[in-house]
Amino acid sequence: MAKILVVDDQDYRYVVEEVLKREGYDVTTADNPQKAINLFRKTKFDLVITDLKMPKMDGIEF
């Protein structure tokens, strides 16, 4: 089962999480890039889906 990290500062991440979970993926979410970096250091993810516009750090910098 693929492990996916969804990073978004808006409620959109919950929609993506639910759709992916229904399809059988193991999904983790973070509401900001710093939390995502901490998760990324602890867990190997197969895919990261990130918002490009977030406070403090954008999806490209992440």
Residue that has been written with the tokens 């492990």 in this structure: 3
Under the banding of pLDDT at 50, 70 and 90, the label for residue 20 is very high
pLDDT exceeds 80 at position 36: yes
Considering the domain boundaries, does residue 24 fall inside one? yes
- For the chain, how many structural domains are there in total? 1
CA 42 – CA 59 distance, rounded (Å): 19
Q: What percent of the chain has pLDDT over 70?
A: 82
Assign 18 a pLDDT band (cuts: 50, 70, 90).
Answer: very high
Nearest to 13 by CA among 30, 25, 26: 30
- Is 19 part of any domain? yes
pLDDT number for residue 33: 84
Left, alpha or beta for 15 (phi > 0: left; psi -120 to 50: alpha)?
A: alpha
Q: Per-residue pLDDT tens for 41-54?
A: 999 999 999 876 66
CATH number of the domain residue 42 falls in: 3.40.50.2300
Residue 62 located in a structural domain: no
Amino acid identity of residue 24, one-letter, is G
4 with 45: CB under 8 angstroms?
yes
